[in-house]
Structure formats: structure tokens, C-alpha cells
Amino acid sequence: MVTDAYSVREGLGEAAAFYRSHPLLNFSYFAIVIGVTMFAMHPVFLLSSFFMAWCYSILLRGIKAIRFNCLVLIPAILLMTLFNTLNVHNGVTVLFYLNDNRITLEAIIYGLASAIMLTSVIIWFSCFSVIVTADKFIYLFGRAAPVLALTLSMIMRYIPLLQHRFREVAAAQRCMGRGLKGSSWIKRIRQFGKEVSILIAWSLEASIESADSMEARGYGLRGRSSFHLFRFAGGEKVLLAAILLLGGAVVAACAAGSMSIYYYPAILLPRFTVLQWISLAAYLGLMSIPMVLDMRGIHEWKLSHAAM
Amino acid sequence: MEIISCSHVNFAYPGCEEDVLKDVSFSIRRSEFVVLCGKSGCGKSTLLRHLKKNLMPYGKLEGHILYCGEEVENLDDRVSTSQIGFVQQNPDNQIVTDKVWHELAFGLESLGLESRIMKQRVAEMASFFGIQTWFRKNVSELSGGQKQLLNLASIMVMQPKLLILDEPTSQLDPIAASDFLATLKKINTELGTTILISEHRLEELLPMADRVLVMEHGQLAIDDGPREAAALVASGVCREMFYGLPAVVKIASAVKPEGRFPLTVREGRLWLEECLGQPGHETPEKNKRPRLRPHTVKSAQSTSMPSVVSMHDVWFRYGKTSLDTLRGVELAVREGELFAILGGNGVGKTTTLKALTRLVKPYRGTIEIRGKRLEKLSDMELFHHGLAMLPQNPQALFTEITVREELLEALSDEKLPEDEQAARVAEISREMELDSLLETHPYDLSGGEQQRLALGKILLRQPAILLLDEPTKGLDPFFKRTLADIFKRLCQSGMTILMVTHDIEFCAEYADRCALFFDGEIVSCGTPKEFFSGNSFYTTTANRVAGQWFPDAITWEEVAARCGGDIK
């Protein structure tokens, strides 16, 4: 049963096959896909990116993705298109006049295209946030500068700690009869300020001990390295090569101008030649890599459980 | 071979006339387990910090401190980092990264080791400490005990030769503290690491130690084996340390001050057998063991005293689908009593306090405060001259820059004339013994003084009911007695105190009634005598030692008196 491995409601989330891949793969994939989505304004490429982004976001985030995409992004597309239509009066095909302003077909189409581009990028980023978690980010930057990696890791440590402390401060103040329900809002704002200042004083005091603990474990010695738990296995090298190859082809095609399109003053589509077909295929192939991995994962899991 | 040797060390902080360390000389051999004890503020931490290069305090230092024959000051940074480990008091403040595995590797990263070697070392230590199951967790999800073990492990990965610990278990509950100390013992015996630890709770540490150092007013007063040191303290050297000794030692010192002192419960039993003979079956006292009444609200209501706090059939759970944290709690606290709720971790003790202060809302049952239903009271009625709670961390209350202003702040929203305010602050600071510290910054106070300042602040609000969450955590034994005296005085003046604690010995000695919380409900309740004398494990050390002879003797004084000892 598919439902064992993948629940449509919840989405795959951190169970996704691509989630377990090396951060370098995750990062290069999203960098290329989001980059190409932003620069390739050819309608065929735009729509394919839009479609793939929808598929992957639903696979990863389940019903939440559908809800967000439908309720927030579709209205946003309509709004952006309307905005462009009413504000831009370039273009040769005049449909009608509104308050002495030209409403042109080109403006409508360009508005729609850029709205779709923007929403695709947003959806891709929602997938990115599932796949690339903070520790992957930390790892990637740690390769360049270990201190930066450490700083990011410390920030991730202090956010929950400060939240916890703040709750404790607020509870302690309440039990002293401060900041209660029913007191005036000026009093409550002053009380909030007081609680923040307690939090700051307490945290500064605690950070002295943290600094000692870092110092005691050799912080500041020359030649700091960065530890991680990621492995770059053999299969991942092949995958990285595939991502770079397909991505390279698409980027090259972009750079050669095969995906550029003129919207103003009149829409000018380049002819769809063999080269365009090849780059479209490469683009679709690139975008589908994580989904293929997931499908393979679900299939493997089913097989291994069927055998038992 | 000596790993540490100090000779004639004097030290003064800048701007201070008096030396914190006065002519301290001692040495520690390889693989020794040494315990350093003394009253708070006697210079223990200052001494320990001098043994680690990067943590040496600024000030005027005389004398020599040598690590393996070399001045600690001149040690190579890498040698100092990897060979001398230092664990501090607070589990939370020492952790700097977000993941357990990253924290473990922190020191190795500083030393610039290769990823492959780090992986091996981290794996090795995680297995030694049993960290595998929470290796990939966020540090914020760990318990206090786990956090402190992580701090220890993240130092042990660097394979230090000397491990220095400054009151590492003071913020832990007794079970986590035992686990931590057992791990230390394992490190000492299996890895041969030299250990120097400062601590208040000697009950478990004394039997583990090879040697005990006792400090008093910056001087090293005792440097001897654990039995000999205990005998010296019992005979009157460093009198203040006496309260920190294990109960068996205290009993033995009162009964037979000249013999060889027992250190553990096992030794204590054998020693009593020598003194009193086998606990016979015919011991008449065995039958006189007071029966523990099953706890019901009725039994509390039937007495003449009205209950000030009462809970009836209170149920609560944190999540919609999670398990119940409180399962039908029945509780009745009478006016003017010191009521203690005991129990392990995560059984719902703190949640009970949260329910009383309305931080959580039970889905079933009734809670009454001074005869009124809790949900009918407004916040103002509940907290103004009603309920007050002392938080576990006193820092959560501190806003000002001196103790005096801190106390005045508590009165800031009550419209009192200035001289009245000053009078009340003066009274409370006398009561809390803070007179001499009025111009000090709250963060410069010791743990016990901060605790008293927070308590003083709360008391200025004149509550009728005081809730305390682990009030004895991190206090030295001497301080606990001061605190107990304060509680006694407050109860006599009519205040009701409800406290949640792990500290069995404290409750046995000072509480009016104790209740055992287990699995979301109160399973037994009674006076300390009724409560503890029925238990064989969950009771005071003195009772565990002498329970077979005197089942109803709870404190060490009672046992010693029954054995015919004289208590000074």
C-alpha cells in the first residue's frame, strides 16, 4: 500500500529521498532550478516550471501545499496580472480604453507571465525550506568559513533557549502579581518592557558562562575545522553529475537566448527548433530528479515489505 | 607523578584588600579522585579556575601552580585545551551549539582535527556515555541531566588527563546527580582520568573519593583521606562543613566519635550491628511502626483546620491526544503549614503548581483557594495578597542594579509613603539577612543570596500562600538551615507554604506534612514520621541505615539519640 510510505495529507516532509541526499546536491539543484525559473521567461518553460513546482510541493507538503497554492498564490497571480494591466500601457494590441488609458494584450500577457514566474519561485522556495534544513545550511557555509557555521549553529541554539527563558520570566512576573489581565494597557506595555529587560540581563549574565565554556574548549585557536555528519556516497556523485549536466545544458541554452522572448511592443516568440526541444527535455528531466528519487524510494519500500 | 601541584598560592581580586586564597599548597597525583569542599564563597571556584589557563581570574597572584611540572600560566594553548577539561555548574549555559553531535565535536573543531578523526572520537565517546539514542537531537529537547552529561562528554572527547568540575550536580535532581557521579567514577576507574571536583553533597561523593580537601576562608584546612577528613570535621575542624557530611558519618560521630567511621549505608548498617547487635525479630518497636493513612481529602477535612489550598479530582493533559499529566489529584493544604510534595521527575509536581497559578487549565476537577473556586477569582484577587510563587531561577525577577532598589521595586505599584516603603524594605532585608548586601548588584550575589533576595521580593507582596519550586536547589547545606529557619518563621506568622522538591532530607527535617506524587496523583500523605518510616527506599539515608532498629527515627539526630549519642 502506498499509504504506508506516503500519506497524501501530510506529504513526505523529512522522509523525502532527496532530504537524505548530500547538501551539495540539494543546494545545486535548487540554485539551478530557481535561477532558470527566474530568467527563462518563455511561456513553455514558465509553465513547465510552474507545473513541476506544484507537483513537488504537493508531494513534499501534502494538503498544506494545496491549500497555500490555491488560497494564496492563485489570487496573487490574478492580482499581479491586474496590476500590470492597469499600470503598463505599452504594447501594440489595444483591447479597449479605460479612463483614457490603453489596455493592451501585451501588458496582460506580460503581467500573467511574470506573476507565474514569481509564484513558481515562491513554491520552489517552499520546497527548498523542507529539504535544506538549518544544519545543511550550516554545513555548506562551514566549508567556506567555520566561524560562520558556528555562528549560525549558535543562533539556532539561542532562539529556543531565549523563548524558554522569556516564558519563565513572564510566568514569574505573573506570579508576583504583575502584568495581569485587567490592568491598563499602558501598564501592560511597561510590564512587557520590563520582562524584555530582565531577559536581556539574565542572558548576558548567562553568556559569561557560555564564553568560559567555549574558551575552555579551545575556541579561538588557529585553524578551526568544521564537523558534519554528511557522507558523499558513490551514487550521489552520479546524481550530482546528472544535475550539473542537465542544469548546464539548460543554462547554456538560456544564455544562448533560445528561451528569451519579447513582450513589448509586440510579443515575439523564438521559433521552436530542435535545440529548444532538447533544452526543454533537459529542463523537465532536471526538475523531476527529486520526484523520481521519491518514487523509487516508495517503490523500494513497498517491494521490501511485500517480500516480508 | 604529580599532575597538579600548588605551592603557597595567594590570590586577591583587583580592588579587594583581602586575599581570596591564602597560602594554599597541595598536590594531586595521576588518576586520583579528589573532592574539594567548603562553604559557598570560601574560594573553591577561584582555586579551581586557577588550574585552567584560559579561565584564570584577573588579580594579584603569588606562588606557583604547576601542571606536570610546568606553570599553568605558560602552558601551550593546545595542551591546556585538550589536556585539562573544565565542567561548570549550569547545564544550560555551557552548551553553545544547536545539535548534540555538534556540541560533542566543538572542542575537536577548535583543535582543527580532520573530519574522519572527529567522527571516530565522537562515536567512541557517545558510546561510552550512552548518548547514541539522542545523538541527532536538538539540545533544547534534552533534560537537565542529559545536558550536563553532554557537557562532560564534549570535554571527554578531547581525551583530557585532568578533569576539573565546579559543582557540576548542583542544578540536577538527585537521580540525575547520581547518574552523573557514577559516570565520573567510571571515567576515573576505566580511563584513569584524574578528577578534581568541588561539591556540597558529599553523601555519594565521599565514598568515591581518594582524598578530600576542605577549604575555609580561603585556606586549605583539611587535606586527607575521606574517612580521616570526615573524622576531622566531626571533631570540630571546619565546623560549618559538618552539615554537609553523609548522615551515617553524623550518626557515628555523635555515638562513637573515636572509632573508624562508616561512609555508606551498607557500612552504616554493619557498624550499627556492631554497636546494637542484630535487629531481632522480637524488636517491639517494629510493631509500633505508625500506619500510613491512605490519603483522602476527607482525612484532611475531618481535622479542625480549614484547608487553604484544595484540589479535588483534578485532571489535566498538555495535548489533545497526549497522556494525562494529572490524573485525579486530591490535595488539601491547611493554613500555616509547610507542605511538601515529593516525587521523581515528570510525575506532574510542577504541573500541579502551574494549575494553581493558572498557567495551565485542568479539564476536570475543582481547585479552591481560601474557600473560593479558582476559576471564579480574577487575576487581581488571586495574586494580590493571595498566591505568590518563587520561581526556580531567581534571575527571572531581577530588574534593578542594587539589592535595595530590587526590594523597593516590589512595592512600586502599591501606593505607600516613602518612609513606610523604606521601613518595610529594612524589615525584610533583616529577615532575609541581606542587610550587609543592600548596595550590591543582584547578579554579584551567590546562589543562596539570590534565592533569599527573590524570596524577600516575593514576601514584600505580602502573599497568604507561598508556592516554591525546588527552593533548595544548588544551596549549600549550611544555607539550607538558614532557609528552613525563615520558612518556619513565616509559617508561624500564618503563611501557608506549599513546596515541590526532590530534597528528601530537607522535608524530613522541616516539613509539617509530606506527600508523594506518582503517576499524576498523590499516592500517600502524612507527617514526615508517618510518611518516611513506612518506606524502605524512598526515605532519608538515616532511616535507611537504622530503619531495622528504629523504624520511626527519620533524621540523623533521632537515630543518634536512640543510639545514645550526644548531639552537639
Our CA dihedral for A148, A151, A156, A162, rounded to 10 degrees, sits at: -160
Find out whether B214 and B199 touch, Cβ atoms under 8 Å: no
Across the interface, which of A201, A205, A225 has its CB nearest the CB of B113? A225
Q: What is the pLDDT of residue B337?
A: 93
Q: What is the mean pLDDT of residues B136-162?
A: 94
Search chain A and give the residue with CA nearest B110.
A224
Grid coordinates standing for B426?
529594612
Question: Which residues in chain A have Cβ-Cβ distances shorter than 8 Å to B138?
Answer: 160
Contact B155 A217 (CB under 8 A): yes
Instruction: Write out B339-377 in H/E/C secondary structure.
Output: EEEECCCCCCHHHHHHHHCCCCCCCEEEEEECCEEHHHC
Using an 8 Å CB-CB cutoff, list chain B residues near A150: 96-97, 109
Question: Do B81 and A218 touch, CB atoms closer than 8 A?
Answer: yes
Strand-pair partners of B224: B212
Residue B296 above 50 pLDDT?
no
Is residue B493 a contact partner of residue A212, using CB atoms and an 8 Å limit?
Answer: no
| Residues B35-73: tens digit of each pLDDT | 999 888 788 999 999 999 989 999 999 999 999 999 999
Residue with cell 488609458: A101
Task: Give the Cα separation of A126 and A130 in Å (integer).
Answer: 7
Nearest by CB to residue A202, choosing from B110, B395, B467, is B395
Residues recorded for chain B: 568
Interface test with B, best of A217, A219, A225, A230 (most B CBs within 10 A): A217
Contacts of A261 (CB under 8 A, 6+ apart): A41, A42, A43, A267, A268, A269, A270
Q: To which H or E segment does residue B533 belong?
A: helix B528-533
* Of B543, B519, B548, the residue nearest B531 (C-alpha): B543
Mutation target among A213, A214, A226, A231 for the B interface, most CBs of B within 10 A: A213
Q: Please give, rounded to a whole number of angstroms, the shortest distance from the CA of B158 to a CA of chain A.
A: 9
Residues of A in contact with B359 (CB under 8 A): 171, 174
* Pairwise CA distance, residues B481 & B509, whole Å: 10
Q: Does B453 touch chain A (CB under 8 A)?
A: no
Summarised one tens digit per residue, pLDDT across range B364-422 is: 999 999 888 998 888 888 888 889 999 989 999 998 999 999 999 998 877 888 899 99
Q: Which neighbouring-strand residues pair with B165?
A: B87, B197
Q: Which residue of chain B has the CA closest to A174?
A: B383
Task: List, as ranges, residues 5-44 from B with C-beta within 8 Å of A.
Answer: none
Residue among A205, A209, A218 whose CB faces B81 most closely: A218
The residue in chain A having the minimum alpha-carbon distance to the alpha carbon of residue B389 is: A175
Q: Which three cell numbers stand for residue B184?
A: 565520573
Which value does ipTM take for this structure? 0.87
Q: State phi, psi for B94 to the nearest 5 degrees.
A: -85, -15
The count of residues in chain A is 308
- Cell 571536583, located at residue: B197
Decide: B448 and B40 in contact? Cβ < 8 Å.
yes
- List the one residue out of B516, B512, B456, B444 whose CA is nearest residue B482: B456
Please compute Rg for chain B using Cα positions. Answer: 25
Chain A residue at shortest CA distance from B159 = A217
Q: How far apart are the C-alpha atoms of B397 and A1, rounded to whole Å?
A: 56
| Strand locations in B403-447 (E) | none
Looking at residue A6, what is its pLDDT?
Answer: 56
Q: Do A175 and B383 touch (CB under 8 A)?
A: yes
- Mutation choice for A interface testing from B56, B102, B137 by most A CBs within 10 A: B102
Helix axes A105-131, A23-39, angle to 10 degrees: 170
Nearest to A212 by CA among B345, B362, B463, B49: B49
B403 Cβ neighbours under 8 A, 6+ residues apart: B429, B434, B437, B438, B439, B440, B441, B442, B445, B453
C-alpha torsion sign, points A189, A190, A196, A199:
negative
Q: How far is CA B495 from the centre of its chain?
A: 25
Place of cell 507582596: B461
The beta-strand segments (E) located in B101-209 are 162-166, 194-198
pLDDT score recorded for residue A181 = 74
- Chain A closest-CA separation from residue B115 CA (Å): 6
Residue A11 C-alpha from the chain's centroid: 16
What band does B183 get if pLDDT is binned at 50, 70 and 90?
Answer: very high
Condensed to tens digits (0 to 9), the pLDDT of residues B486-532 reads: 999 999 999 999 999 999 999 999 999 999 999 899 998 999 988 88
Q: Take residue B391 and report the three cell numbers written for it.
A: 520561581
pTM here is 0.85
**What is the pLDDT averaged over residues B128-143?**
91
Binary contact (A175, B389; C-beta < 8 A):
yes
CB of B109 less than 8 A from some CB of A = yes
Task: Report the Cα–Cα distance between both ends of chain A, in Å, rounded.
Answer: 14
CA B379 to chain A, closest CA, distance in angstroms equals: 6
Percent of chain B predicted with pLDDT > 90: 56
As beta bridge partners, residue B364 has B315
Report the largest interatomic distance among the alpha carbons of chain A, rounded to a whole angstrom: 77
B457 in A contact zone (CB under 8 Å): yes
> Which of A177, A218, A222 comes nearest B107 by C-beta?
A218
**Which of A126, A122, A152, A154 shows the shortest CA–CA distance to A137?**
A152
Q: Flag whether pLDDT at B178 surpasses 60.
A: yes
Question: d(Cα A18, Cα A110) in Å, to the nearest integer?
Answer: 34
Query: What are the two backbone dihedrals, phi and then psi, of residue A228, each rounded to the nearest 5 degrees?
Result: -155, 170
Least confident stretch, B44-48, B174-178, B239-243, B462-466: B239-243
Q: Which residues of A touch B89 (CB under 8 A)?
A: 209
Residue from A227, A229, A230 whose CB has the most chain B CBs within 10 Å, to mutate: A227
Beta pairing partners, B499: B340, B468
8 A C-beta contact, residue B286 and residue B550: no
H/E stretch holding A27 reads: helix A23-39
CA proximity to B308, closest of B338, B345, B277: B338
* pLDDT of B287 over the 50 cut: no
- B window 51-80, beta carbon within 8 A of A: 52, 54-55, 77-78
Q: Please name the residue of chain A whose CA is at the shortest distance from the CA of residue B81.
A: A218
As a whole number, mean pLDDT of residues B9-38 equals 92
Mean pLDDT of chain B: 88
Residue B93 CA to residue B101 CA, distance in Å, equals 17
Cα distance from A171 to chain B (closest Cα, Å)?
A: 8
**Is the Cβ pair B383, A180 closer than 8 Å?**
yes
Which chain B positions have a beta carbon within 8 Å of A153's beta carbon? 96-99, 102
Q: Which residues contact A134 (CB under 8 A, 6 or more apart)?
A: A152, A156, B98
* A143 contacts A27 by C-beta, under 8 angstroms: no
Which of B:311-350 have CB within 8 Å of A? none
Q: Using CB atoms, which residue from B111, B379, B398 is nearest to A180?
A: B379
Angle between helices A134-144 and A146-175 (to 10 degrees): 140
Q: What are the residues whose beta carbons fall under 8 Å from the beta carbon of A129, sequence distance 6 or more?
A: none
User: Is A38 strand, coil or helix?
Assistant: helix
Least CB–CB distance from A157: residue in B95, B136, B154: B95
Q: Using the predicted structure, report yes or no on whether residue B301 has a pLDDT greater than 50.
A: no
A-B contacts at Cβ under 8 angstroms: 178
DSSP codes joined into one string, B441-490:
-GGGS-HHHHHHHHHHHHHHT--SEEEEESTTTT--HHHHHHHHHHHHHH
Cell of B112: 582543527
CA–CA gap between residue B560 and residue B275 (Å, rounded): 12
Q: Going residue by residue through chain A (308 aa), what tens digit of pLDDT does each one get?
A: 344 445 667 788 888 889 988 999 999 999 999 999 998 888 889 999 999 999 999 999 988 899 998 999 999 999 999 999 988 888 888 888 888 888 899 999 999 999 999 999 999 999 999 999 888 888 888 777 888 888 888 998 999 999 999 999 999 998 888 877 777 888 889 899 999 999 999 999 999 999 999 999 999 898 888 888 888 888 889 999 999 999 999 998 888 877 778 888 888 887 778 888 888 999 999 999 999 998 888 888 888 887 66
pLDDT category of residue B191 using cuts at 50, 70 and 90: very high
Q: b or e along B192-216 (b: 16 or more beta carbons within 10 Å of the residue's beta carbon)?
A: ebbbbbbbbbbbbbbbbbebbbbbb
A268, three cell numbers = 515575439
Residue B292, pLDDT > 60, answer no
Cell numbers of A158, please? 539561542
Is some CB atom of chain A closer than 8 A to the CB atom of B118?
A: yes
> B268 near B559, Cβ under 8 Å?
no
CA distance A10 to chain B (A): 18
**Cα(B60)–Cα(B331) distance, integer angstroms:** 57
C-alpha cell at A237: 556523485
Residue whose cell numbers read 581570596: B20
Residue A303 CB neighbours (<10 A)? 9
Kind of pairing between the strands at B513-518 and B60-67? unpaired
pLDDT of residue B30 exceeding 80: yes
Per the CB < 8 A criterion, the answer to whether B171 and B94 are in contact is no
Identify any residues that bridge with B338 across adjacent strands, giving them in sequence order. B497
**CA–CA separation, A236 vs A240, rounded Å?**
6
Cis amide leading into A265 (omega within 30): yes
CB atoms within 10 A of CB B327: 15
Closest partner residue to B391 among A172, A194, A219, by Cβ? A172
**Angle ∠(A147,A153,A156) on CA atoms, nearest 5:** 145
Distance between CA atoms of residues B401 and B424, nearest Å: 19
What is the sign of the dihedral through the CA atoms of A38, A39, A41 and A46? Answer: negative
Query: B375 CB contacts (<8 Å, ≥6 apart)?
Result: B367
Task: Say if residue B226 is exposed, middle or buried (CB neighbours under 10 Å; 0-12, 13-18, 19+).
Answer: buried
Determine which helix (DSSP H) or strand (DSSP E) holds A97, and give its type and residue range.
Answer: strand A94-98
Q: Do A226 and B109 touch (CB under 8 A)?
A: yes
Query: Contact A228/B115, CB-based, under 8 Å?
Result: yes
